[in-house]
Structure 1
Amino acid sequence: MTTAQNAACTDGAPPAATDAPDGAAVPDTSPRLYSPDLAPTKKAGRSWGGYNVFTLWANDVHSLGNYAFAIGLFALGMAVWDILIAFVLASVFLFVLLSLSGYMGSKTGVPFPVMSRIAFGVRGAQLPAVIRGGVAIAWFGIQTYLASSVLSALLVALMPGMKSWGQHSALGLSALGWLSFMILWVVQVLIVSYGMDVIRKYIAIAAPAVLITMLALAVWMFAKADWSIAMDAGSPFTGADRWLNILEAAALWVVIYGTFVLNFCDFTRSAKSNRSILLGNLVGIPVNMLFFAGIVVVLSGAQFRLDGEVITSPSDIVQTVPSTPLLVLASLSLILLTVAVNLMANFVAPVYTLVNLFPRKLDFRRAGVVSAVIGLVILPWNLYDSPVVVEYFLGGLGALLGPVFGIVMADYWLLRRTRVHVPHLYTEDPQASYAYRGGVNPRAVAAFVPSAAIAVVIALVPYFAGISGFSWFIGAVLAGVLQVLLPGRTALPTEDVDGESIAVPSA
């Protein structure tokens, strides 16, 4: 921007349209597209280093839901070495995807709803943002419910008289369940109300506690099983079926992170450098995921060696800890973990989605409260207890994330070659780079509709059960190819135009 524009930014008045370094006009910032929470983060104020990126994964990888998925692989007949191979393949692929996605946030400094405007248009971007936010809100409620179950068990262990609270229920949840749920609900709302920096500090503290607890739990179980584990749960897969299951397990693990690879820029927009992202990803994904896989095979294999049964979650083992002080510490660690995962994976995304929808009415704190209220009123425990809802509704929404990712990535890396005019992401001027037709990019819509339909059909129709685990990949690749091949307008600045000097709109 010019010196005159920078001066205008200082007193808060929007500048007049002038020429940007690439020769394109920089129109006024629109209050319907801009808010302080959606504005690009300034490089001078970024606080996320490599350790912070690592702690993000150190918490999220070790979530109770992930353990249930991985232990389920052992229960379904996959041998220990097959599980390890699947996680090696998945971690390498995720490292590449998350590094590419993270670079976008580090370079532009914008959150996912704004990032989506590049490919979908300043208005069309509401579609991918709402899809991502909708999935996250549902899982926020479900994860809070799962954590509340651990808290309920802990309260009963400490105060046996509270067991009677489980005999009375309302709206499908016991009185004890309501107490535990609301305690964790309030805690999460309070943390989010203080913004991303407090979330960063929380996960930085939670990560070491989680890693130490899970390692200690695995060592305890290993010793309990006389330092040996079962290598499979009986009837392991062989031949072609073995490798198909390994590939499908790896694909499903990537799908679990289909949400994170989409909005990783919500976090990396605060990264100090791209090097911080790469280092954090390197330790947090391949190294940490192998550590996670080792914990999984030890816990499940040791338990199977002991009694011939497969656990469903680490919380099953925690409840058998004979020492009350250790039981309390382990339970609190699991609760600490689940809250951290919820904040990162299921709270930040809907907050930015809501701010993007109502930038003049909601800020980060208010959007956090609205998101939490929605996560409460949907009665998530009833959703979790309904296989139809989880499989068809949430599974269908999840399948849509692959095509969105394919479009955003193909547009940014292949069509635009990483060149972005950031100020144009905040204007409704019809001549701006991302105005397209009424703020919607017809090419992105044309690429999304068929690929999304195919991904959902593959994910949900029983006939395609054999390849349903690959629906995210199929949707992402198809959408990316269509985004590149379909005709349409791609406005390319001759050089990057950052958002360091975007003017604050006056209204």
Structure 2
Amino acid sequence: MTATNDQPGVDVPAASSARLYSYDLAPTKKEGRRWGAYNVFTLWANDVHSLGNYAFAIGLFALGLNVWGILTAFVLASVLLFLLLNLSGYMGHKAGVPFPVMSRIAFGTKGAQIPAAVRGVVAIAWFGIQTYLASSVLNALLVAMFPGLRSLQGQSVLGLSVLGWMTFVALWAVQVLIVSYGMHVIRKYMAIAAPTTLITMCGLAIWMFARADWSISMSTSEPLTGWAMWLQILQGAALWVVIYGTFVLNFCDFTRSAKSRQSIVRGNLVGIPVNMLFFAGIVVLLSGAQFKLNGRVITSPTDIVQTIPNTYLLAAASLALIVLTIAVNLLANFVAPIYVLVNLFPRYLNFRRAGLVSAIIGLVILPWNLYDNPVVVNYFLGGLGALLGPLFGVIMADYWLIRRTRVNVPELYTEDANGEYHYRRGYNPKAVWAFIPSAALAVVMALVPAFSAVAGFSWFIGAILGAVIYAVIGDRKPDAQDVDGESIAVAAE
């Protein structure tokens, strides 16, 4: 068997089920883990600077927050994210298992399909959408360099231009190729993409700052004040955490390869609070400089990139944005569904095959039609996203409060009726009972217009309610053991 992860796989324990175990789902061995603090940092150096995040952050400026309000929102968000990601990351480091397997601890060997499926569906849809957004940047670059290609934009097939199909499929294939070589190549790609991203965005911000005569507008013409300002700051911070609701849930997919807890903490510290403040600084420079120049609030850094007068610099900046978007897509939207699919069909799919299946699904759903449909994005994907908070609350409460970090890793791979995580026919009814009411409330708050004033806090409310309910009704088996994956021998290839 060919390894697809950063570390050697482990042999199947005698009592394990072929439905629950495969090479890619096996716990990692500590001596094979290669993710240091820099690798964790590069994960955030790429993801924090995604085009979608810039659009959201610049939107705060458009909504009336001044520079100091935006910086305050990001300070609050970074502290919350740092704490949440460490809680989730420690789980992955100790157990060494991917998210679908980790979910078995709280939801049971079969019930784990619930959180895994929610995470996987959201990720596949956004994989297609992010690839489409990256292809749009490539379209603009190609037309700027080769004006004759403009004619291909007027011909449409299934809602996308011929040029759009060409660039989409090209970037789709690049991502499939990278993923086919496994997590170790993804890790190396991030290590290269991160400095490229940071240098490009810093250079773009300095260029805009110079264009605005080294000064910026500190706010729009009608900045928020008083309680309205603080409410927007709190909502902005909360929504930023919601954006990372996917990552805080399946961060273990990456930290299972971390060398130590210190690597996670150091990588998160530089990658979240420090990097996010750097990100916020770029946001205020870009948006404040543009507003000073012509009184217009940009919607994305691509608006500025397209105004670069030099063709070579335009090409370099556009390619950097494409490299960035691919990195974000690989991290946030490709790895998660791969493990979900491997978990569903461990006998037939490995990391490479699951990556291809995930990519094909992301293509056939015609993601540009999803992105152009506000109903789909806001209600379907928004509704699924609202479920992530309650799932996080239940899983964290089970691991930290009920079990107090004690996990019997070999038992995660057995269907024995007496197994520790078999519960009732493979489902933990108490986890489901805690999840349903908290999820229902989170979805209602996120989607019903009457609750729009507090919609930004739906993830937190769902997570807290799910954790509280489960902490009250959950129970811990008195014979629970703390056995890690090191008890399972290394597999032969």
TM-score (norm 1): 0.94
Kindly state the Cα deviation for residue 219 of structure 1 after the two structures are TM-superposed.
0.2
Out of 418, 425, 430, the residue aligned to residue 431 of structure 1 is 418
The equivalent residue for 2:364 is 377
Partner of residue 349 from structure 1, selected from 312, 336, 343: 336
Letter of the structure 1 residue corresponding to residue 485 of structure 2 = G
Return the alpha-carbon distance in structure 2 between the equivalents of residues 436 and 224 of structure 1: 64
Deviations 1:266-319 (A, max 9, x none): 000000001000000000000000000000000000000001101111111111
Aligned residue among 464, 477, 485 for 1:491: 477
1:133-157 Cα distance to aligned partner (Å, 9 max, x none)? 0000000000000000000011111
346, 366, 370: which one aligns with 2:353 = 366
Secondary structure (helix, strand or coil) at the match of 1:259 reads helix
Distance (Å, rounded) in 2 between the aligned partners of 1:404 and 1:505: 33
CA distance in structure 2 between the partners assigned to 1:86 and 1:42 by the alignment? 39
Residues 425 and 14 (structure 1 numbering): CA distance in 2 closer, same or farther, change over 3 Å? closer
* Counterpart residue type for residue 145 of structure 1: Y
Offset from partner CA, 1:96-139 (integer Å, 9 cap, x none): 00011000000110000000000000000000000000000000
Aligned residue in 2 for 1:398: 385
The partner residue of 1:279 within 266, 285, 289 is: 266
**1:3 paired residue number:** none
**Pair 1:306 & 2:306 matched:** no
Q: Does residue 158 of structure 1 match 2:145?
A: yes
RMSD (CA atoms): 1.5
Instruction: Single out whichever of 439-448 and 232-241 deviates more from structure 2.
Output: 232-241
Instruction: Name the aligned partner's letter for residue 185 of structure 1.
Output: W
**Which residue in 1 is equivalent to 2:239?**
252
Counterpart-to-counterpart distance in 2, 1:261 and 1:133: 14
Match of 2:195 among 208, 221, 240: 208
Counterpart in the other structure of 1:30: 17
Checking the alignment, whether the CA contact within 8 Å between 1:14 and 1:505 is kept in structure 2 is no
Matched, 1:502 2:456: no
SS state of the match for residue 500, structure 1? Answer: helix
| From 93, 105, 109, the counterpart of 1:106 | 93
Distance in 2 (CA, whole Å) between partners of 1:211 and 1:493 is 50
Q: 1:72 to 1:426 in 2, by over 3 A?
A: same
CA contact 1:436–1:489 (8 Å) conserved in 2: no
Q: What's the CA shift for 1:256?
A: 0.2
Instruction: Assess if the C-alpha contact under 8 Å between 2:100 and 2:112 holds in 1.
Output: yes
Identity %: 73
Q: What is residue 324 of structure 1 aligned with on the other side?
A: 311
How big is the shift at 1:500?
2.1
Moved more, 156-165 or 410-419: 156-165
Give, in whole Å, the separation in 2 of the partners of 1:492 and 1:176.
62
1:71 aligns with 2:64: no
**How far 1:494 sits from its partner (Å)?**
5.8
Say which SS state the counterpart of residue 437 (structure 1) adopts: coil
Cα distance in structure 2, aligned partners of 1:184 and 1:113: 28
The CA deviation at 1:501 is 3.6
> 2:323 maps to what in 1?
336
Gaps of 5+ in 1: 1-8, 16-27
Distance 2:46 2:269 in 1: 15
Equivalent pairs, count: 484
C-alpha deviations, 1:381-409, integer Å up to 9, x for none?
11111111110000000000000000000
Write the distance in 2 (CA, Å) between the matches of 1:368 and 1:243.
Answer: 43
Counterpart pick for 1:219 among 206, 220, 225: 206
Matched, 1:230 2:230: no
C-alpha contact 1:420 1:493 (8 A) present in aligned 2: no
Task: Give the gaps of 5 or more residues in structure 2.
Answer: 1-8
Letter in 2 for 1:318: V
SS in 2 for 1:124: coil
- Separation in structure 2 between the aligned mates of residue 93 and residue 242 of structure 1, nearest angstrom: 20
Separation (CA, whole Å) in 1 of partners of 2:313 and 2:332: 28
Q: How does 1:405-420 map to 2 (within 5 A)?
A: 405-420=392-407
Q: Is the 8 A contact 2:391 2:466 kept in 1?
A: yes
For the Cα contact (< 8 Å) 1:411–1:483, is it kept in 2? yes
Q: 1:62-102 CA distances to partner (integer Å, 9 max, x unpaired)?
A: 00000000011111111111000000000000000001100
The answer on whether the counterparts of 1:51 and 1:280 sit within 8 Å (CA) in structure 2 is: yes
1:451 touches 1:478 (CA, 8 Å); kept in 2? yes
Q: Which moved more, 1:494-503 or 1:79-88?
A: 494-503
Structure 1 runs of 4+ aligned residues shifted over 6 Å read: 503-506
CA contact (8 A) 1:103 1:274 kept: yes
Partners of 1:123 and 1:478 in 2: CA distance: 23
- The answer to whether the Cα contact below 8 Å between 1:120 and 1:444 also exists between their aligned partners in 2 is yes
Equivalents in 1 of 2:206, 2:491: separation in Å?
57
Q: Where does 1:89-100 land on structure 2 (aligned, <5 Å)?
A: 89-100=76-87
Q: Does the CA contact (< 8 Å) of 1:123 and 1:439 recur in 2?
A: yes
Q: Is 1:182–2:169 an aligned residue pair?
A: yes
Q: How many Å apart are 1:324 and its aligned residue?
A: 1.1
